[in-house]
Amino acid sequence: MKLITNIYQLLVTGEYDKPLCGKEMGAMPYIENAYLVIDEDCIYEYGIMDDLHPIAVDEVIDATGQIVLPMWCDSHTHLVFATTREDEFVDRIKGLSYQEIAAKGGGILNSARKLQAMSEDELYKDALERLSQCIKTGTGAIEIKTGYGLTVASELKMLRVIKRLSTAVDIPVKATLLAAHAIPERHKQNRAAYIDEIVNEMIPAFTKESLVDFIDIFCETGYFTVAEMDTIVNAGKAHGLKPKVHVNQFTSIGGIQKAIELEALTVDHLEELTEKDIDELKTSNTIPVALPGCSFFLNIPYTPARKIIDSGLSLAVATDYNPGSSPSSSMNFIVSQACINLKMTPAEAIVAATINGAFAMDVAKETGSITKGKKANLIITKPLPSYNAIPYHFGQHQIDEVIVNGEVL
């Protein structure tokens, strides 16, 4: 057993059976002057220091002046990729848009060509390095998408890499099939043939091997239509996959309405959001997910988080870590972005990046809050004046120690 004493602020405490919504997010539960006991890999108990009773432990960590919170839950990443895309970054600085770069064969198709040429072992080695860095900087659960394979063999290669990552690290890793990320070159003249490949080859084969948790699609002008989302998501659902979908990044084309009808767990991006979209989200349990790293990097509008939260909806935030639109895995930076550009309070941002992120990737029973019986996946910050200082120090995580599955990293 381990005991953490004198915790200045212990954040996101309590039991949760659904994501925090609207005003609940700003009223993040927390305890001052707290203790927390870890038994093996789980949170055994916690409370205020005045209630700490004699308890036999192997190790005591004194957290005077320090803040303890659940590790970040990054519910949207593309962490498995072949190489970075700095050339496109420079093209954009010179004036080309993300869509223009994609139209001339760059973007997702560029990443796919490189990934197709790479061996599974190389891909795994690089991805593990990235994932280890995520964990060191406080990410305690992660979702990883395919979508740079775009052939049966290469999408399978990506899923195998994700499976290997999930057994190599001590945090929950969820796999999402995003074969519908872009229409590959070979199917440009016959997109129906690619949809057919996804529905009739990939989904049945990959689910049979238990390699996938979620089904995704990039529903966007120039990528996939709402009708194609209906086909692919229904095929995924028939094989037990929950939908988590990319919608409204550049245009609002009805993807949200369809995602709600398909009972999607999450709708991600939402940089372009109409009042109608918000009203419809209010009728559903679908969780909106904002990806401010993408808005920052591509210089596109930010998801209207204030409108979403003030409408009483829930919101999660995630990195969207990928080589094209958000090449950073820093959840600390995302929490800062949530405050600075999404106009969320630090409490709302921390909730969005922990418990709400956990619900957005179906791991809330295991992690995302300080709850008895959940995994002891914890961040202990440096001494700070208050939790407001976590996002205040943008780009500089305030971590003193990370505890993963009860072990100090």
Ligand X SMILES: N=CN[C@@H](CCC(=O)O)C(=O)O
Residue in 223, 209, 229 with CA at minimum distance from that of residue 158: 209
Residue 236 within binding range of ligand X, rule CB under 6 A: no
Q: Contacts with Zn ion in 289-328 (CB under 5 A)? A: 320
Amino acid at 356: N
Residue 288 within binding range of ligand X, rule CB under 6 A: no
Residue 320 within binding range of ligand X, rule CB under 6 A: yes
Residue 375 interacts, among ligand X, Zn ion, none and using kind-specific CB cut-offs from 5 to 8 Å, with: none
Query: How many C-beta atoms lie closer than 10 Å to residue 348's C-beta?
Result: 28
Contact code string over 118-147 relative to ligand X, x by CB under 6 A? ------------------------------
Residue 322 within binding range of ligand X, rule CB under 6 A: yes
Nearer to Zn ion among residue 44 and residue 218 (C-beta): 218
Residue 324 interacts, among Zn ion, ligand X, none and using kind-specific CB cut-offs from 5 to 8 Å, with: ligand X
Residue 249 interacts, among Zn ion, ligand X, none and using kind-specific CB cut-offs from 5 to 8 Å, with: ligand X
Given a contact cutoff of 8 angstroms between Cβ atoms, the answer to whether 377 and 404 are in contact is yes
Residue 244 interacts, among Zn ion, ligand X, none and using kind-specific CB cut-offs from 5 to 8 Å, with: none
CA 85 to CA 79: how far, in whole Å? 14
Which of left, alpha, beta for 343 (phi over 0: left; psi -120 to 50: alpha)? Answer: left
CA 31 to CA 47: how far, in whole Å? 8
CA 114 to CA 117: how far, in whole Å? 5
Nearer to ligand X among residue 111 and residue 151 (C-beta): 111
Residue 348 within binding range of Zn ion, rule CB under 5 A: no
Binding site for Zn(2+), residues? 76, 78, 246, 320
Instruction: Kindly state the smallest distance separating residue 324's Cβ from ligand X, in Å.
Output: 2
Residue 255 interacts, among Zn ion, ligand X, none and using kind-specific CB cut-offs from 5 to 8 Å, with: none
Residue 294 within binding range of ligand X, rule CB under 6 A: yes
**Alpha carbon of 224 to those of 77, 97, 115: distances in Å?**
19, 19, 21
Binding site, residues? 76, 78, 85, 148, 181, 246, 249, 320, 322, 324-325
User: Would you tell me the crossing angle of helices 346-353 and 331-340 to the nearest 10 degrees?
Assistant: 140
Residue 13 interacts, among Zn ion, ligand X, none and using kind-specific CB cut-offs from 5 to 8 Å, with: none
Residue 324 within binding range of ligand X, rule CB under 6 A: yes
Residue 218 within binding range of ligand X, rule CB under 6 A: yes
Nearer to Zn ion among residue 213 and residue 320 (C-beta): 320
Residue 337 within binding range of ligand X, rule CB under 6 A: no
How far is the first Cα of the chain from the last one, in angstroms, to the nearest whole number? 16
Nearer to ligand X among residue 10 and residue 158 (C-beta): 158
In the chain, DSSP finds a helix count (H) and a strand count (E) of 17, 16
Where are any strands of DSSP class E within 232-335?
A: 242-247, 266-269, 287-290, 316-317
Number of residues that bind ligand X (CB under 6 A): 14
Residue 25 within binding range of ligand X, rule CB under 6 A: no
Instruction: Kindly state the smallest distance separating residue 246's Cβ from Zn ion, in Å.
Output: 5
Q: Which residues on neighbouring strands pair with residue 314, listed in sequence order?
A: 21
Residue in 354, 347, 331 with CA at minimum distance from that of residue 387: 347
CA 62 to CA 383: how far, in whole Å? 11
Nearer to Zn ion among residue 266 and residue 332 (C-beta): 266
Residue 108 within binding range of ligand X, rule CB under 6 A: yes
Instruction: Kindly state the smallest distance separating residue 381's Cβ from Zn ion, in Å.
Output: 28
Instruction: Kindly state the smallest distance separating residue 250's Cβ from Zn ion, in Å.
Output: 13
Residue 149 within binding range of ligand X, rule CB under 6 A: no
Given a contact cutoff of 8 angstroms between Cβ atoms, the answer to whether 364 and 45 are in contact is no
The closest residue (CB) to Zn ion is 320
Nearer to ligand X among residue 265 and residue 294 (C-beta): 294
Instruction: Kindly state the smallest distance separating residue 100's Cβ from ligand X, in Å.
Output: 13
Question: Which stretches within 119-225 are classed as H helix?
Answer: 120-136, 152-168, 191-197, 203-208
Exposed e or buried b per residue across 54-77, where buried means at least 16 C-beta atoms within 10 angstroms of its C-beta: eeebeeebebeebbbbbbbbbbbb
Phi, psi of 32 (to 5 degrees): -100, 150
Nearer to Zn ion among residue 118 and residue 318 (C-beta): 318
Nearer to ligand X among residue 80 and residue 135 (C-beta): 80
Residue in 146, 88, 81 with CA at minimum distance from that of residue 118: 81
Contact positions vs ligand X (CB under 6 A): 78, 107-108, 111, 218, 246, 249, 294, 320, 322-326
Question: Which chain residues interact with Zn ion by CB under 5 A?
Answer: 320
